[in-house]
Amino acid sequence: AQSVAQPEDQVNVAEGNPLTVKCTYSVSGNPYLFWYVQYPNRGLQFLLKYITGDNLVKGSYGFEAEFNKSQTSFHLKKPSALVSDSALYFCAVRDSGNEKLTFGTGTRLTIIP
C-alpha cells in the first residue's frame, strides 16, 4: 500500500519569505514523488518530480523539493514567496511497480503581501 501525508491544511507566509510545504510518504518499493499545484476551479499543474538521482529536485516557478529517504519526506520549498504562489498544493506518490498515484489531502498556501 502507498500513502501520502500533508500534515498542514493551511500555510501562511509573508511575501518574500521562504516557504516550506511538508509531505511524508509510505511505499513498499522505490518511491516516485510528485508535487502539483491547483488554482481555483482548475486542474493540476505539475511542479516537479523525484524518480532517482540527486535528492534536491528543482522544478517550475522557482520551486524545489528535497527527497529524504530516512525521514520518508519530500518537502516543497521556495526561497522567496510571491503572492501569485497562493494556491492549493498536492504531494503525490507511487511506487515503481504501481501506475496509480496516491495524493495527499492538499495544503492551502497563502502568501501575505
Contacts with other proteins by CB under 8 A lie at 32, 34, 36, 41-46, 49, 51, 90, 99-101, 103-106
Q: How far is CA 18 from CA 14, 46, 53, 92, 97, in A?
A: 8, 21, 25, 22, 35
* Minimum distance from residue 16 beta carbon to other proteins (Å): 28
* Minimum distance from residue 82 beta carbon to other proteins (Å): 22
Q: Is 103 in contact with 2 (CB distance < 8 Å)?
A: no
By beta-carbon proximity to other proteins, the closer residue of 8 and 106 is 106
